[in-house]
Structure 1
């Protein structure tokens, strides 16, 4: 049975609204909720970027059933892995076992803010491997000292470990990343319905892990309004992660996406009131082998209308898949 999730999109809503949406999503019947972890929005028109971990702590107390997940946190530059290990443990305790730590190699947009530059993709993946090993070591509760190629940890211990294990999901994109990260994580994160990626991950895990995808939608009673909103706030998505990982500022994304047309966005993102179009788009992920699919409703001011309106009916149609 595929699980369906709701995305707490920190780039398009403030923290208090996100907590309110999290509660409404649980009430609407979503199985899990994922949160982006950004320092800046992708585009200025999105207009928000609260601190994800503070918000998730509030969500953990405001909800009781849905699983929670970072989608995804970069534990290498803006955050030291020892700090990620501590806050993941605290959040798992607050969530009483409902939290999955989603990790990835990050984007320049968020990580450059600490003034350490932006490494090559190979270096970023090396850093992520080392960071994941440190986090695992600290989650044993043992006193940890680490001297690595990228990180040092000096006599650190996580004093408040939750009763439950903190599972790790990691963002992958191809053979090399699967080979490197699969031994270090329980679950996969990917944003394209690529069956080959799923099959190769399953071969490393004997098919027993979760494969967690994400898809943007722009539901609205009026299709033209939905397309215009998606173009205004989500046209950055069309660049692909090879571009998205390296641009440093919202202004850069404005420039890179200036020639993306509304019809281009409408072709890539289901827009309008037709739930069957959304179901068809999600079905590609289900058919590819994803066990979990999170929806991103585009537009911070549309979340209540979506959650109070078609969300429950949409979930029923999705579960019929």
Structure 2
């Protein structure tokens, strides 16, 4: 049976609001919650970007049942992998084993802030692979020394660890990234319902119970035209695809890259308005592709509680039916 999650978007809501949304989403009946981890929003109109790990600590205490996950953290530049291992272990302890560490190769948008440039994609994948090796070693509980092409670790140890290592998911976009990360990670993360990714992943891993976790943006509301306008204002960047989005250096770049995206374009890719059947059909594409988990993103800060109310009464029963 497919698990349905709720996305805590740090780019469109403030930290206190996110904690409230997390508690309401658990009450509404979602199975898990994922949180974005950015330094910048994609567009100025989104207006927020709080520190995900502080919010996760609060969310771990405001919720009691739902699984929690980063979707996704980049452990290569803005964060050192040894520090990521430490804070992931801490959140898992705070949440009593409900946390999954979702990782990705990052975006220029967030990593440029440390002033070290933005490496090409092959180097970013090398860095992520080394980071995974470091984090996995630290989760084992021993002292870790490491000398790689991109990182050195000198006698590091995470002192507060959960009994079971924190599960790790990795965002992938093609066969090359699947073959690199499937053997060492636990779960697949992707934003498109591509069945080939699932096939490649299953062929490259021998870990039982490997999950495939997707994400579906929606803009629910009683007025379809208003929803389309809101989705266009806040989410028109989404259509660029991650190969393009990963390279753009700031919100001005995303605004320029999406300046010719129309409201019709957005409405063609994001279910908008009161039609819950459209959301269900979009979710089924992930299920048909072999995904085990789908996290829904509701576009717009002010609409979250109304969306959660309709999700509890109508959307989640329809998805599970």
Asked if TM exceeds 0.5, the reply is: yes
- Secondary structure at 1:183 match in 2: coil
Aligned to 2:193: 193
Quick check: 1:96–1:164 contact (8 Å CA) kept in 2?
A: no
Q: Report matched runs for 1:133-212 at 5 Å.
A: 133-205=133-205, 208-212=209-213
Say whether residues 1:12 and 2:40 are aligned partners.
no
- Provide Cα deviations, 1:196-251, integer angstroms capped at 9, x if missing partner: 11111112235631000001000010000000000000000011111100001011
Aligned to 2:129: 129
Aligned to 1:284: 285
Aligned to 1:29: 29
How many angstroms does 1:311 deviate by?
Answer: 4.0
How many angstroms does 1:78 deviate by?
Answer: 0.2
Say whether residues 1:221 and 2:237 are aligned partners.
no
Quick check: 2:42–2:237 contact (8 Å CA) kept in 1?
A: yes
Quick check: 1:5–1:295 contact (8 Å CA) kept in 2?
A: yes
- Secondary structure at 1:30 match in 2: coil
Quick check: 2:32–2:68 contact (8 Å CA) kept in 1?
A: yes
Q: Provide the alpha-carbon RMSD of the alignment.
A: 0.9
- Provide Cα deviations, 1:263-294, integer angstroms capped at 9, x if missing partner: 00000000000000110011100100000000
Say whether residues 1:71 and 2:83 are aligned partners.
no
Q: Which runs of 5+ in 1 are unaligned?
A: none
Aligned to 1:254: 255
- Secondary structure at 1:196 match in 2: helix
**Aligned pairs, number:** 320
Q: How many angstroms apart in 2 are the aligned matches of 1:116 and 1:126? A: 16
Say whether residues 1:116 and 2:116 are aligned partners.
yes
Q: How many angstroms apart in 1 are the aligned matches of 2:311 and 2:10? A: 22
Aligned to 1:239: 240
Q: Report matched runs for 1:274-313 at 5 Å.
A: 274-313=275-314
**Structure 1 stretch displaced more, 199-208 or 186-195:** 199-208
TM-score (normalizing by structure 2): 0.98
